[in-house]
Amino acid sequence: MVASVSLAWKNLTHDRRKLALALAGVAFAVLLMFQQRGFNHALFDSTVELVRRLDADLLVFNRARFALTSELRFPKEILERLASEPGVGSVRPLYLENKLATAHRAGLPARPIRVVGLDLTTLPFQDAAGEVNAGLAALQRPDTALLDRLSKDYYGFDLRVARRGEVQSAELSGRQVQIAGLFSLGCDFAHEGNLVMSSENFAKYFRYRAADPLSVVDLGLVKLEAGADRELVLNGLRERLPQSVELMTREEFEQREINFWARSTPIGIIFAIGAGIGFAVGVIICYQILATDIADHYRELATLMAMGYGKPFFFKLVLQQAWWLAILGYLPGLALSWLLFQLNASWTGLLMQLTWERALTILVLTLVMCSLSALLAIRKLLAADPASLF
């Protein structure tokens, strides 16, 4: 075993130029898989980031609402009934305007933007840096909002002004709005920017929602009493709710949203196909590298076969070369992918997160990719007659 490991290493390293080209090929395949999986995860992470920031145990929504991007709401009076149910600590409304809200600064075209209306008495939304909580005083002023700093720049907002704490004027759905601060949420494939404002201000800008704009709710946020059994309360509330609304845990709602984008939209399907293509390209690249190396060492390998080395030895030899290629090619691929993740996040506003779990997944895929290539490359060698190789 030790001899085969040493031989595998020497086969790879005897020609440093060929080794560098081989590692570049594997690193390219790793980079391709990272990018495809990265955008795939960005689709899901960015879409559910708003839900993950909500301070709620359970979510109430219109049963016909197939995704956060839809505009199907339910009467606020349903939430008011839930507030008195056993095990419920508090119930708060969340208002969303996804499609009809537009924003821009003077001289620029209006573009769609997502607006989140919050009940400021008990803030239901938490951002990582606590900027929304710090901006509560500003949000209570009339016609005032906070801007997501990751919003696309074609709205015309000046982030430098906002960072200095200065107010800048803009137009939201045909009405003047004052941008009084920043927070971080991120764009997704349906929204190019975000604003947060109080529910009172929200009602002024979107009067078309109903006679009382706050009488219809997009999401109901339910907090349970301390020590309450979540499943028991959830089942009890479901029995009391009308058929027009649905109640889920926050985790269930996140998964529902992810499933919608993964299975029901072309975007999710395209990225899944892209990840598969990246893996296939990696198999082909690694196969070419190993097959060429075997061809270059036919005579030496034939000698070992004539000396009595069996098939298990050659399987181990080629697999170990493949694993060396996988590990050595993975490291530069990982470094380049991390750099591109940062650049992509900056350019697109998407959440391009390279976690340890995702990095480990690509490492395993790289090992599988190179192992499969090794099994394909060794077939010709094992089928050959040693005498014919001289």
**Residue-range domain boundaries for the chain:** 2-48+266-389, 54-263
The CA distance from 176 to 192, in Å, is 20
The two structure tokens encoding residue 317: 């030899």
The CA distance from 42 to 40, in Å, is 5
291-317 pLDDT tens trace:
887 777 777 777 777 777 777 888 888
What pTM was computed for the model? Answer: 0.80
The two structure tokens encoding residue 303: 């000698």
Indicate if the pLDDT at residue 1 is higher than 50: no
29-82 pLDDT tens trace:
899 889 888 888 888 888 899 999 898 999 999 999 988 888 899 999 999 888
113-153 pLDDT tens trace:
999 999 888 878 777 677 888 888 889 999 999 999 888 88
Indicate if the pLDDT at residue 110 is higher than 60: yes
b/e string for 365-374 if b means 16 or more Cβ within 10 A? bbbebbbbbb
| Average pLDDT of span 375-388 | 71
The CA distance from 190 to 196, in Å, is 17
Contact 93, 214 (CB under 8 A): yes
Contact 87, 234 (CB under 8 A): no
What is the CB neighbour count within 10 angstroms for residue 47? 26
The CA distance from 115 to 191, in Å, is 10
**Nearest residue to 37 via CA among 364, 356, 352, 375:** 352
- Residue 2's pLDDT band (cuts 50, 70, 90): very low
Average pLDDT of the chain is: 86
- Residue 384's pLDDT band (cuts 50, 70, 90): low
